[in-house]
Chains A and B, each alone.
Chain A
Amino acid sequence: MLVPVLAIGGLGVVAVIGVVAAFVITGWIGQPIPVLGFEQTFDQPIDFPHTIHASLKQLDHVPADGGTMEGLGLDCTFCHRTVTTQANAGIPPVGFCATCHQVIGAEGNPQLTILRDAADIVGDDGSQPVNWQRVHRLPDHVRFIHEPHIRYLTQNPSQVEGTTDGVTEGPSGVCSTCHGNVAAMKQVEQVESLKMGQCVDCHRDNGAPTDCVACHH
């Protein structure tokens, strides 16, 4: 009699542990920034290639007229204009993209057609703004300001981790600390967890305030 009772009891314990584990795991995945899923990619309305724009290296992308192609090596701040002065890095308006792309890029390129439609270059047939999906998103109770971080890392290059395709100078040289090598990403992914522990570790190492209201207010 004893053996079946023990077996049932053991099964019960296993079941309880399983339920608790499932609860914890789903709760962990369901965090504002899913830790296990932060490498997820987003379906952007336009397949914007950071490689062509930001990289300085030779690309595996083949242009329409054949041959090889190197990246433009634009500074991050060329498009993300407010990153050195404001809280948000900022997404450029489509009109800004169109300053180049009304001339550059093949006529029938479907991705550029979306952009030109949005910038209202090709007719005004009900064009829609580009609804970019945000990749790096912090919870609402976090007040992250780009400006002091760019300023500090620019002044203290030894604290910079990684590079944006080998760039070490200027604002582009510091972005990789939190964003990884975006210039090598065909589609932008979040490569760091960007959870509070990571923020506090870096703040502590660099003598930045670890007071709660530095970020939460």
Chain B
Amino acid sequence: MATAEFGSHNWGMVVDVDKCIGCNACVIACQAENNIPLNTQDRVERARSISWIRVERYWEGDFPDAKARFIPIMCQHCENAPCEPVCPVYATYHNSEGMNVQVYNRCVGTRYCANGCPYIVRFFNYWEPVWPKSLRNHLNPDVTIRSRGIMEKCSFCVHRIRRVSRKARSEGHEVADGAVQTACSSSCPTSALIFGNFNDPNSKVSQMKEDQRHYTLLDQFGTDPNVIYLAKIDADKKVGAGEAASHG
């Protein structure tokens, strides 16, 4: 059997919220890796900024016992994705590697998928992306630049997956656990974001997924995400998986 064949993986991510310090390194890494247009002030003011991953703040508990929490949120790569069936041109679909894929050259910009997504992780290019001349040589040649009128979102750094699995095939071995790192997971200083293959029961993500703190965001919608969160632990309060799931 050939090794590292296309479709033999189920890529996914485990986010340990207890480890996340909210430093936003993942946001910057993603921005640089994926040729995301600059979020200038006017774009942010019009709520049209693009960030494939964001550290979202929310409050837990009531005053005076309220706690400020933050959680990194990216495309959850749902198995039952609400964005997929609404696309009239099949530009977003679920591929055999467990990823929700956006095909830029098919997209016609109806924005139905962004309306369908409960996680608000799909972004529409309202303008042609422009970079100052000093930044043009910083663009990643492996990632397509999305033009105006195209929907985009976290791709699980599919170009990195393709690169690593291509190298593994040419060398004739399987993709080693931890060989594929997304931009966000490789930049995380506390290793709160772990990327790996759920099909391999011995991979780090598969082991972490079994943690009793695990939950998925907006579980009640039944989207079955490929991004698993591990709940935060308070020193003064025991948080089980069921309790953690309620704040999604």
Contact = CB atoms under 8 A, between A and B. Distances in A.
A binds B: yes
A212 B101 contact: yes
Given A217-B155, A217-B158, A145 B166 contact: yes
A209 interface: yes
Given A147-B166, A148-B169, A214 B6 contact: yes
B139 to A, nearest CB: 11
A137 interface: no
A216 B103 contact: yes
A195 to B, nearest CB: 13
A141 B144 contact: yes
A151 B172 CA distance: 12
A37 B129 CA distance: 31
A214 to B, nearest CB: 7
Contacts, number: 50
B64 interface: no
A211 B166 contact: no
Contacts of A216: 103-105, 144
Interface in A167-213: 209, 211-213
B87 interface: no
Interface string A129-170: 000000000011101010110010000000000000000000
Contacts of B99: 213
B222 to A, nearest CB: 25
Contact of B143 (A147, A211, A212, A217): A217
B121 interface: no
How many of chain A's residues touch chain B, expressed as a range?
10 to 19
Nearest to B96: A211
Contact of B170 (A139, A140, A143, A151): A151
Nearest to A196: B105
Nearest to B170: A151
B144 A213 contact: no
A214 B7 CA distance: 11
Nearest to B90: A212
Contact of A213 (B142, B158, B166, B170): B158
Interface in A25-52: none
B144 A217 contact: yes
Contacts of A209: 6-7
Contacts of A214: 6, 162
Contacts of B101: 211-213, 217
A148 B106 CA distance: 25
B32 interface: no
Contacts of B166: 145, 147-148
Contacts of A141: 104-105, 144
Nearest to B34: A217
Interface in B75-116: 93, 95-97, 99, 101, 103-106
A217 B153 CA distance: 11
Given A209-B7, A213-B95, A143 B159 contact: yes
Interface of B: 6-7, 93, 95-97, 99, 101, 103-106, 142-145, 155, 158-159, 162, 166, 169-170
19 contacts: A141-B105, A141-B144, A143-B142, A143-B162, A147-B166, A147-B170, A209-B7, A211-B7, A211-B97, A211-B101, A212-B93, A213-B95, A213-B101, A213-B103, A213-B158, A213-B162, A214-B162, A216-B103, A217-B143
Interface of A: 139-141, 143, 145, 147-148, 151, 209, 211-214, 216-217
